[in-house]
Chains A and B, each alone.
Chain A
Amino acid sequence: MASALLRHNRHLLGLEGMTPDQIEPLLDLAESYALLNRSRKVPRDVLRGRTLINLFFEDSTRTRTSFELAGKRLGADVINMSVAQSSVNKGETLLDTAATLNAMRTDLLVVRHSQSGAPALLARKVEACVVNAGDGMHEHPTQALLDALTIRRHLGTLGGLSVAICGDVAHSRVARSNIHLLTTMGSNVRLVGPPTLVPGALGRLGAEIFHSMEEGLRGVDVVMMLRLQRERMSSGLVPSAREYFRFFGLDRRRLELARPNALVMHPGPMNRGVEIESSVADSTQSVIQEQVEMGVAVRMAVLDRLTRGRHSA
């Protein structure tokens, strides 16, 4: 595990293999940033003189903005690079990009890519600390960390919980990172959805599989909904939006099967009326807005932690 530890200390590529000893202090740090954010007393010198590049090969407004804000609040110079997917010639160009960024002496590189493993490939070639902001269907570690922080703030723990992750798990990097984190912290993860989106093979990640919301949500502490991409319908994995909502949408009736006051979460952006009923998304049980707030705090903590002890380039 030594190499994994090193990897996690220098880059944040994924949560698989991370230990509670690594996760808890990161969440503690994020918690303190959350409080500082609210009181608007963030020390602006933590990343002073550091350069952060948001390198997004895939469109994203929310995550990119969140990282941008996190970097700026800590005093970093933040540059956004959106690389049109169509103009990228995959592997070779990715390495050319890495060489270019190296020459620019970047400290932090936040990478989103449609291919699983692309940030890991970059991490091998650049001097900067690489933060995976979502790679293909692989991982989205900061999303899982912000989810964990949100849960911990409400339920006081990440151990011994029962968490249902519902919807398109098969194609979800958010789900994978959450499965790794939650099982590592000693919680029980249930994956709920049609077999085309929640195939039995996912059970190998240490989660329980359910093909019925009614069964999957019974007694859980947290209901985590995933976004259903329209392309899942055009590619035939789901017959229609109305059928999806009928059987796998989160509505009042189904939410009542969970523990009283169970948390409702969603990584966003939501499809109201497809995977979640509006009244549930806006209910007092919903912590969806808080997830966004914790997102900035978690990313501040990650940027802080990765650069701490490293000399300014």
Chain B
Amino acid sequence: MNSMVFDNVRLLDPSAGLDQPGSLLVQDGVIAGIGKPGGEGVPEGAQVLDGRGAVLCPGLVDMRVEIGEPGFEYRETIASAARAASAGGITTLAALPTCKPAIDNPALVRMMRVRGEETGAVTILPYGALTKGCEGKELAEIGMLHEAGAVAFTDGNRAVDPARLMRLALSYASGFGAMVIQHPEEPSLAGSGCATSGAMATRLGLAGIPTAAEAIMIARDIRLAELTGGRLHFAHVSTAEGIELIRQAKARGLRVTCDTAPPYFDLNENAIGDFRTYAKFSPPLRSEDDRLAVCAALADGTIDAIASDHLPRDADDKRLPFAQAATGGTGMVTLLGVTLARVHDATLDLSRAIGLLTHRPAALLGAAAGTLAQGAAADLCLFAPEQSWLVRAGELPGRAQNTPFDRRPLEGRVLGTWKAGRRVYEAGNA
């Protein structure tokens, strides 16, 4: 039997309310139990790793990642995405279906799962296309995709637009107990806008997208979820107004959930000053008031999960006039560090922050992940919450380097990542 002990660690498992110094025993890739620090009851021949007081938590579960493969391998491959995930402490990720071809048939769903297994480093949970080709016209074969292992249904960063289509999607998916994920932006209001309407967009002369575009879509879809009884999730919410609508819907007992991503609680629209295309996102970065509303919603539980919203882009996709540049940023490597910035400034406590990165997204996806429970796969992340490092675009693990956090000092560093007990990442010396 292959045994390993993580000794002298701070065990943190928000799913079980666990936060205590101790040790963790792993046998044959499975968590065998937790113990006191000092290696009491360590099996003979077990490999012992001294954590030196670092935090050991479940491997992170990232519920929104676009991988370039298949179709955009020049941006990122599954292998390079797995390297980025491991460096970020991520052991499970949900992949958007917006590749080429779109994940709209059962064979592709199975392929994505298998390709994840082949990396040995990360479990890929594929999202199924909500509509054929993610083109927003006809429903995809949601039942067959669900059966093949698609964890939820979305058209990625294309909002499901006609209200009738969204109604059908929520209704049809509900028959299979499947969740629909919406990109909350009313497309006709967003138009060709590329920045949030406001002082910054006005000064730069960029076409604006009003924050109402998010609120209107969220209000509409909450109403449709109510009408159909469907399971609805909003991705990367970013405005005070939109979040308030979700807060109210939850208070009414509706099964509506949402996530957000680090750019929306760490950056505001000032980041696009000087036409910085690396800070161009969809939805666009918002005002400081909206950023603070996102922080508050993370703290009060309105937001159910933090996802990296990792979107690999090539330099050529970004070195364009702002309006023409591609949206999105890489985010897996910096996911934990930027989230911990909200712990260091006391917005969140550590346990809540890690919960938003582990068991809470796992629960949304119905994934057996994000826990240190005995018998669970030993998917683990060891990190030093106070250790600082500097984000450097060009030197991040993985192929895609389009981070909005270039030159940002972060406190909180992943020291090691284990997938089913096998080490898949080890931090170099800082």
Contacts and interface: CB of A to CB of B under 8 A. Distances in A.
Given A194-B175, A195-B228, A237 B144 contact: no
Q: What does DSSP make chain A's interface, helix, strand, loop or mixed?
A: loop
A196 B132 CA distance: 17
Interface residues of B, number: 19
Interface string A184-223: 0000000000111001100000000001100000000000
Interface stretch (A43-51, A103-111, A152-160, A240-248): A240-248
A249 to B, nearest CB: 12
17 contacts: A194-B175, A195-B171, A195-B175, A195-B229, A196-B175, A199-B171, A212-B175, A236-B138, A236-B139, A236-B165, A237-B172, A239-B132, A243-B141, A243-B143, A243-B144, A246-B143, A246-B147
* Most-contacted residue by chain B among A196, A199, A211 (CB, 10 A): A196
Contacts of A237: 168, 172
Interface in B161-208: 164-165, 168, 171-172, 174-176
A211 B230 CA distance: 13
Interface of B: 132, 138-144, 147, 164-165, 168, 171-172, 174-176, 228-229
Nearest to A212: B175
B141 A240 contact: yes
B172 A194 contact: yes
Contacts of A199: 171
B401 to A, nearest CB: 38
Given A211-B176, A212-B175, A242-B141, 17 more contacts: A194-B143, A195-B172, A195-B174, A195-B175, A195-B229, A196-B171, A200-B229, A211-B175, A236-B139, A236-B168, A237-B168, A239-B138, A239-B143, A243-B142, A243-B144, A246-B143, A247-B143
A212 B175 CA distance: 8
A194 B146 CA distance: 14
A246 B145 CA distance: 12
A237 B175 CA distance: 12
Contacts of B147: 246
Contacts of A242: 141, 144
Contacts of B132: 239
A45 to B, nearest CB: 54
Contacts of B175: 194-196, 211-212
A97 to B, nearest CB: 34
Nearest to B173: A195
Nearest to A244: B143
A131 to B, nearest CB: 35
A238 B228 CA distance: 16
Q: What does DSSP make chain B's interface, helix, strand, loop or mixed?
A: helix
* Most-contacted residue by chain A among B142, B164, B171 (CB, 10 A): B171
Interface in A223-242: 236-240, 242
Contacts of B168: 196, 236-237
A252 to B, nearest CB: 19
A242 B147 CA distance: 14
Contacts of B165: 236
A238 B143 CA distance: 10
A239 B130 CA distance: 10
Contacts of B174: 195, 211
Contacts of A200: 229
Q: Closest 3 CB pairs between A and B? A: A211-B175, A243-B141, A195-B171
Interface string A296-311: 0000000000000000
A239 B139 contact: yes
Nearest to B165: A236
A212 B132 CA distance: 23
B171 A239 contact: no
Nearest to B228: A195
A239 B228 contact: no
B53 to A, nearest CB: 51
Contacts of B139: 236, 238-239
A159 to B, nearest CB: 31
B171 A246 contact: no
A243 to B, nearest CB: 4
Contact of A246 (B138, B140, B144, B164): B144
A212 B142 CA distance: 14
Contacts of B140: 239
A242 B228 CA distance: 24
B177 to A, nearest CB: 9
* Most-contacted residue by chain B among A199, A239, A242, A247 (CB, 10 A): A239
Contacts of A239: 132, 138-143, 172
Contacts of A211: 174-176
Contacts of B143: 194, 239, 243, 246-247
Contacts of A236: 138-139, 164-165, 168
* Most-contacted residue by chain A among B143, B147, B174, B228 (CB, 10 A): B143
A238 B140 CA distance: 9
Contacts of A238: 139, 172
A297 to B, nearest CB: 38
Contacts of B229: 195, 200
A129 B176 CA distance: 47
Contacts of A240: 141
A215 to B, nearest CB: 11
A200 B142 CA distance: 20
A216 to B, nearest CB: 11
A238 B142 CA distance: 10
A18 to B, nearest CB: 32
* Most-contacted residue by chain A among B139, B142, B165 (CB, 10 A): B139
Contacts of B176: 211
Nearest to A194: B175
Nearest to A247: B143
Nearest to B144: A243
Nearest to B104: A239
A194 B142 CA distance: 11
A239 B139 CA distance: 5
Contacts of A194: 143, 171-172, 175
A247 B165 CA distance: 21
Contacts of B144: 242-243, 246
A196 B172 contact: yes
